[in-house]
Amino acid sequence: MRRTAVVRVLVVGMVLGQVTGLAAAATEAATPGSEGLPSALEAARLRARLETALAAAAWDSALAPAQELAALEQEEHLEALYRVLRIHCAREDSSRAYETLDDLLGAGWWNHRRLRTDPDVAFLMARERARALVRAAWSRQYIGMLERDTRDAMQKPVEVMAALAVQPGQRVADVGAGSGYFTLRLADAVGPGGRVLALDIRQEMLDHIAARTRAAQLENVELRLVPADDPQLEPGSCDLILMVDTMHYVKDRVAYARRLRAALAPGGRVAIIDFRFDPQAVREFAPPPEQQVAREVLDSELAEAGLVVAADHGFLPEQYFVIYEAR
Ligand SMILES: C[S@@+](CC[C@H](N)C(=O)[O-])C[C@H]1O[C@@H](n2cnc3c(N)ncnc32)[C@H](O)[C@@H]1O
């Protein structure tokens, strides 16, 4: 895997891991030089490749080493800033520690778990203001990941919406709404006479959706902060419940699915899109293998909760897309 891809996978791993507590392995893997070559040697090798390609005006060959070098230099810059932060903390200089934390987050630091757990920066991270800065930076990165330019190519939102066939006036819940990637499309589909409930466990995500719905002058979206184990949907209140890349976070999926089933109106459906279980596949934005939920496992858990497969859409390249209905 190219280094840029490695860096991006680590960013996503950390972002996803933050939610689920699976970041420790990624933290270790991210140690500079842990891919075998000491980073100085690797940088020299990349510079040599780049110079040769530039001298020959071979732009296509120049691109990969230029990008890899940029990623490597960014990692080194972040590590250097982190060292400065540690020194300010050791000197108990809170104002300069805050400044450096700001610089670090602004420069794209993604290893939030390390900030939260490193005793050398505990001087600063013990303060709510510092923790709030880190949370806000994490949310910005997470939203950026969900709204990345390349997502539509794999997520196929137009085809997904067509397959969902949402009707004007329907009541839909978007469970784990994130940045609102599907929420706004659903709001458009149900129209002013319908209602979309956007549920998430993180207030920052709901705040982001609120800003988007305000900008789009949508008045049919209701936002709700919910606990991780209960969508808190009223019985019989939903024509459709959509969960995209969220079911794999749920710990007791049978209990959760029972709650979803209870929330369905007569004829209601639960649509689940999530990454196929494929530990070998290199998929930049998939959760780690131990978090991926195999399709057969999901089907059997949902069947236990009284939900059976009504439609199975196979057109997404990395995810399954299944519609369940009450038995
Ligand atoms: C990978 S994102 C997907 C967001 C959105 N569905 C999309 O497709 O862009 C998962 C979202 O689910 C939220 N989440 C995780 N566990 C949840 C739970 N048990 N209940 C509700 N939301 C949850 C996270 O905070 C995050 O915003």
Whether 199 and 241 map to the same domain: the answer is yes
How far, in Å, CA of 144 to CA of 312, rounded? 29
Along the 327 residues of the chain, how does pLDDT read in single tens digits? 344 443 443 444 444 433 333 233 333 333 333 444 577 888 999 999 999 999 999 999 999 999 999 999 999 999 999 999 999 999 999 999 999 999 999 999 989 999 999 999 999 999 999 999 999 999 999 999 999 999 999 999 999 999 999 999 999 999 999 999 999 999 999 999 999 999 999 999 999 999 999 999 999 999 999 999 999 999 999 999 999 999 999 999 999 999 999 999 999 999 999 999 999 888 889 999 999 999 999 999 999 999 999 999 999 999 999 999 999
Under DSSP, the state recorded for 287 is P
Site to substitute for ligand 1 among 12, 249, 256, most atoms within 8 A of C-beta: 249
Which residues form the domain of 138?
A: 3-146
CB 39 within 8 A of CB 33: yes
> Running DSSP on this structure, what letter comes out for residue 252?
S
Ligand 1 contacts (CB < 6 A) are 19, 146, 175-179, 181-182, 199-202, 205, 226, 228, 244-246, 249-250
Predicted TM-score of the model (pTM)? 0.81
Q: How far is CA 308 from CA 24, 77, 253, in A?
A: 36, 52, 14
Domain boundary among 115, 146, 177: 146
Q: CA–CA separation, 197 vs 177, rounded Å?
A: 9
* 120: CB partners within 8 A, 6+ apart: 86, 89, 90
Same domain, 39 and 157: no
- Give the atom of ligand 1 at the shortest distance from the alpha carbon of 273: 8
Domain boundary among 130, 146, 162: 146
Strand partners, 172: 196, 240
Q: Is the four-CA dihedral 180, 321, 6, 18 of positive or negative sign?
A: positive
Number of independent structural domains in the chain: 2
Rounded-to-integer distance, Cα 124 and Cα 130, Å: 6
Rg of the chain, C-alpha, whole Å = 22
Which numbered atom of ligand 1 lies nearest the CA of 256?
19
Domain match, 33 and 62 both: yes
3-class state of residue 121 by DSSP:
helix
Sign, Cα dihedral of 105, 74, 151, 12:
negative
Is the separation of the CB atoms in 249 and 281 below 8 Å?
A: no
Among residues 146, 176, 203, the one where a domain terminates is 146
Tell me the CATH number at 173.
Answer: 3.40.50.150
Q: Say whether both 159 and 142 belong to one domain.
A: no
Considering the domain architecture, whether residues 128 and 246 belong to the same structural domain is answered as no
CA-nearest residue, atom 26 of ligand 1: 178
- Rounded Cα distance between 245 and 287, Å, is 9
Residues 81 and 175 in one domain: no
- What type of residue is 30? A
122 and 171 part of one domain? no
- Same domain membership, residue 159 and residue 119: no
**Under 8 Å CB-to-CB from 32, ≥6 apart: which residues?**
39, 75, 76, 79
Quick one: 161 and 61 in the same domain?
no
In the structure encoding, which two tokens stand for residue 12, read together?
């996503």
Q: Which atom of ligand 1 is nearest the CA belonging to 229?
A: 19
Q: Are 174 and 253 within one domain? A: yes
Pick the residue whose CA is nearest to atom 18 on ligand 1.
Answer: 228
